Amino acid sequence: MAFKRVPQKFTASVNEVTIGTGDKAIVLGGENVMPLYSFDAPITNRVKIGVEITDSGYDKTVPGIAAFYAGAETIGEIAKRASEMPGGDFVVLTLEGADPNGANKPIDECVAIAKEVADAIDVPLAIQGCKNIEKDAEMFNKLAEALQGKNILLISARTEDYKQIAAGAVMAYGQKISAESAVDINLAKQLNVLISQMGVAADSYVMNVGSAAAGYGFEYVASTLDRVRGAALSQNDAMLQMPIVTPVADDAWAVKESVVSEEDFPEWGPRENRGVQMEVSTAAACLAGGSNAVILRHPASVKTISELIADLT
């Protein structure tokens, strides 16, 4: 008997969340098929890529990254360059210098950096905090106020600070936020329930269900992504239908494979190649699991993943 293909599309779909304004605004989510299954039904909003820079610029120790940004001096110039990276859709500014246990930059300074970045680019902007609960909660509110009208995405709100961030950033200034949980479908859903119970509309937030570099417990990430998407589509679970934005670069460039030098491990080859491989393999795995956007650093990774997305959608 001949094979008869039955399109596997669902009546439920992932929410659509818009980031940015004007022509360059992007829409995340919206699909009603399994990740990248464009053969089952058209995927209108293809998966997006965010290009990451930090408040101190970019990673000068990686030749490919340094070469890409060569000549860009100010944070505005660097951001402009990032916004033009082939394959990228939006810019992600990570304010790691705000960390009280690190450079501890004052919030005013961080807001000024963010404004300079926002003014320099015409693509949507996402801002990652420094992961310190108190600092992020206050800083996100100030950023939301300063960048009102830009429709930025703030990454991320957690169980501990979602109240302040949702109330300040979303309800007062109309920005978007990402709800972050630690690789567990129940925890992801619980945080979404709490945020929605505050009166935040479903099209105002995305989620980060947690991640890990490939090979570093990624099987937990994979099963969480699978189950979250399964619940959203096949069970029509409204509290799990938010688009997923996964910061990949942070994990991928922090593991041993991407950190140790070629002098110490000559048999492993150049460090840069390893970092790109980690970034690409982790990002590809996240997309296969259901991420609607990944955040990357290296131009080669952005190029590779954007080609993968183009080929599959």
Partner 1 sequence: MAYTIVFKVEGGADVKTQAEQGENLLELARRIGVAIDAPCAGNGTCGKCRVKLISGALEVEKNPHLSQEDFDAQWRLACQSKVHGDAVIWVPMSASAFRNNIKTADLSSPEELARYEAMTEEIFSSGIARGVQETGVGVAVDIGTTTVTAAMLDLATGHVLAKASMGNGQIRFGADVINRIIQQSKPGGVERLRHAVREETLIPIFESLCRGADKKPEDISRIVIAGNTTMEHLFVGADAQTIRLEPYVPEFLELHGKTAGELGLPAKADAPVIFAPNVGSYVGGDISAGVLPAMLWHSGEMALFIDLGTNGELVFGNEDYMLCCACSAGPAFEGGDISCGMRATHGAVDSCTIDPETMEPTLSIIDGDKPMGLCGSGLIAIISELFRCGIINAQGKFVREGKRVRYDQYGGAAYVLAFADESATGSDITLDESDLDNFIRAKAAIFSAIRTMLKSLDMTVDDIDKIIIAGGIGSGIDIGKAISIGMLPRQELTKYSYIGNSSLTGACAMLLSDEAAEKVFEIGRNMTYIELSTHPGYMDEFVAACFVPHTDAHLFD
Site residues for partner 1 per CB under 8 A: 159, 163, 184-187, 189-190, 193-194, 197
Structure tokens at 88: 């990228």
**Residue nearer to partner 1 on the CB measure, 19 or 139:** 139
**Residue nearer to partner 1 on the CB measure, 25 or 193:** 193
**Residue nearer to partner 1 on the CB measure, 171 or 194:** 194
User: 26-29 and 16-19: which strand pairing?
Assistant: antiparallel
**Residue nearer to partner 1 on the CB measure, 172 or 193:** 193
- Least Å distance, CB 191 to partner 1, is 9
- Least Å distance, CB 163 to partner 1, is 7
- Least Å distance, CB 217 to partner 1, is 16
- Least Å distance, CB 202 to partner 1, is 16
**Residue nearer to partner 1 on the CB measure, 8 or 164:** 164
- Least Å distance, CB 248 to partner 1, is 25
Three-state secondary structure readout of 247-289: ECHHHHCCCHHHHCCCCCCHHHCCHHHHHHHHHHHHHHHHHHH
- Least Å distance, CB 85 to partner 1, is 39
At residue 37's C-alpha, the angle toward residues 36 and 38, to 5°, is: 95
**Residue nearer to partner 1 on the CB measure, 187 or 288:** 187
Task: State the Cα–Cα distance between residues 281 and 302, nearest whole angstrom.
Answer: 12
Name the residue type at position 299: P
CA distances from 233 to 20, 236, 277, 295 (A): 26, 5, 31, 24
- Least Å distance, CB 5 to partner 1, is 32
Tell the residue number behind the tokens 């991420």, with chain if given. Answer: 291
- Least Å distance, CB 75 to partner 1, is 33
Q: Are 253 and 52 in contact (CB under 8 A)?
A: no
**Residue nearer to partner 1 on the CB measure, 68 or 140:** 140
**Residue nearer to partner 1 on the CB measure, 27 or 194:** 194
Tell the residue number behind the tokens 């106020």, with chain if given. Answer: 145
